[in-house]
Copies of this chain bind each other. A is one copy, B any other.
Amino acid sequence: MSTERHYEREFVRTFFTSPTAVKGEEDSAKMIRSAAGLRGMQAPDVWVPDNEDATAPNMRDEGARNIVEVVAEHGADFPGEIHPRVVWHRDSPTTRYRGFQHMLAIADPEGGAVEHIDGFVIPEVGDIDDWKKADEFITIVENEHGLEEGSLSMSVIVESGEAELAMGDLREEMGRPSNNLERLFLLVDGEVDYTKDMRAMTPTGELPPWPELRHNTSRGASAAGLIAVDGPYDDIRDVEGYHERMVDNRAKGMLGIWSLTPRQVVEANTSPLPPESGRWLLELGDEEIDLTEEDGRQVYEGDAVGLEETDDGYVLRVGSDEQQLDEGGLREELLDMAAYVPSMDDIVNSMEEFEAAKEAGRGAISMTRATTVVVDGVEVEISQDRMWDEATYQAAQTPIALFQDVYEHRPDQHEELEEMYGADVVERAMSVGN
């Protein structure tokens, strides 16, 4: 990436917002202090003391004071980065000026908070010129308070059509001499306000899925060397839905997500990490069905697939579709349906194997994975071959690179990670790919 990054983390799994002031003085201090005390998997990669939506409009000055107080006291011990969100709106100079004042107050060295603050989050940005206004205010904040220019990062919430379009111009605009947009860090989708700005509606009031917005955010981050983060998942009890959203996001290159509760933080911190153990599954159309391991064999237990041995071969049924097959044909069909989800250990093994082959002068090797699938009591041996070359190797590296980034920057999660994977796997995962 040619753009020089001004931030340490290469990956951000979790973007956790907490109110800075709600009802009364005591209450507010309690909520923001409780966020500051999170550790381990419950602590986010990026903590956002939120002085915008999560804080009552008439209490935002108090919110800014609470940020200073709590971050000054607890910031040094907080394991993630700290990026307060201030108010901003592309259509309101009043709001923008208040956001500027809050940033000035929060970053005042007298308060003792700024040394623990990594940057600011600017919501409701508009087109690229609006992003530049926020960047300029941060430059002035840095200058007024004797901080190095560009030392505070800037993250934005993309919640308008014009901000979505602006992400296509970042790479070009970030190089210009009269801005400090190299301070950009996270591009965060904000689907509630985006839905409003796009005037979109669904019958039940649920948010539309916005696949194109998420693609464009991920692409914008990739092109400009930034990090893409998906917006909040409102239904905080729907853990399965949150997981599905994260799987969908990762297929778009968006590895981080907004978290509204410490429980969501745990889910979002662990979800992008490779699983502890691998598993086989059958892919039937869009559905994926896990197979059950029994004595090293993979048993299918549903009734969507049926298999029967006959005098002259096999009858395989998938849904209501039956076909007569010989042994080779049967194996090919099952091979097509079967897929393997590799564990952390599997990925590390494959990478080590490829690295050894490369060392020995071979640019491509075949990796084999074999098992016995059992359907209706009939056993079928299958064996997957996959050619690994440099490109395969590098694509496989993404989850490992994420793991390494987490391990390096989050010592407070070491214990949990070693418990999850075993110390040996962790050690090997930290040394491949370098």
Interface of A with B (CB < 8 Å)? 1-2, 11, 53, 56-58, 91, 127, 160-162, 164-165, 168, 171-172, 192-193, 195-206, 208-209, 211-213, 215-216, 218-223, 237-238, 240-241, 247, 250-253, 255, 272, 281, 302-304, 320, 332, 336, 339-342, 361, 363, 389-392, 394-399, 401
Point out the residues of chain B lying under 8 angstroms from A332, CB to CB.
Answer: 237
Q: List 10 A-B contacts (CB under 8 A).
A: A161-B221, A192-B391, A198-B219, A202-B251, A204-B340, A205-B342, A205-B395, A205-B396, A208-B252, A209-B251
Point out the residues of chain B lying under 8 angstroms from A201, CB to CB.
Answer: 250-251, 255, 272, 398-399
Report the separation of the CA atoms of residues A211 and B201 in the bound assembly, to the nearest whole angstrom.
16
Report the separation of the CA atoms of residues A220 and B195 in the bound assembly, to the nearest whole angstrom.
14
Report the separation of the CA atoms of residues A298 and B14 in the bound assembly, to the nearest whole angstrom.
39
Q: In the complex the two chains form, is B171's CB within 8 Å of A168's CB? A: no
Q: In the complex the two chains form, is B212's CB within 8 Å of A211's CB? A: yes
Report the separation of the CA atoms of residues A241 and B247 in the bound assembly, to the nearest whole angstrom.
22
A16 CB to closest chain B CB, in angstroms?
A: 17
Point out the residues of chain B lying under 8 angstroms from A205, CB to CB.
Answer: 342, 395-396
A161, A200, A208 pick with most chain B CB within 10 angstroms: A161
Point out the residues of chain B lying under 8 angstroms from A211, CB to CB.
Answer: 211-212
* CB contact under 8 A between A53 and B389, given known A171-B127, A201-B250, A206-B339: yes
Report the separation of the CA atoms of residues A193 and B361 in the bound assembly, to the nearest whole angstrom.
22
Q: In the complex the two chains form, is B222's CB within 8 Å of A161's CB? A: yes
Report the separation of the CA atoms of residues A243 and B391 in the bound assembly, to the nearest whole angstrom.
24
Q: A165-B223, A204-B339 are in contact. List 10 more A-B contacts (CB 8 A).
A: A168-B168, A192-B395, A195-B395, A198-B222, A201-B272, A201-B398, A203-B341, A205-B395, A206-B339, A238-B336
Point out the residues of chain B lying under 8 angstroms from A165, CB to CB.
Answer: 168, 171, 219, 223
Report the separation of the CA atoms of residues A165 and B219 in the bound assembly, to the nearest whole angstrom.
8
Q: In the complex the two chains form, is A91's CB within 8 Å of B1's CB? A: yes
Contact of A192 among B171, B303, B392 (CB under 8 A): B392
A137 CB to closest chain B CB, in angstroms?
A: 19
Report the separation of the CA atoms of residues A208 and B162 in the bound assembly, to the nearest whole angstrom.
27
A209, A212, A332 pick with most chain B CB within 10 angstroms: A212
Report the separation of the CA atoms of residues A1 and B211 in the bound assembly, to the nearest whole angstrom.
24
Chain B: which residue is nearest A167 at the CB level?
A: B165
A254 CB to closest chain B CB, in angstroms?
A: 8
Q: In the complex the two chains form, is A202's CB within 8 Å of B250's CB? A: yes
Chain B: which residue is nearest A235 at the CB level?
A: B336
* CB contact under 8 A between A223 and B253, given known A204-B341, A215-B212, A247-B203: no
Report the separation of the CA atoms of residues A185 and B200 in the bound assembly, to the nearest whole angstrom.
18
Q: In the complex the two chains form, is A208's CB within 8 Å of B391's CB? A: no
Report the separation of the CA atoms of residues A11 and B253 in the bound assembly, to the nearest whole angstrom.
31
Chain B: which residue is nearest A164 at the CB level?
A: B219
A58, A336, A401 pick with most chain B CB within 10 angstroms: A336
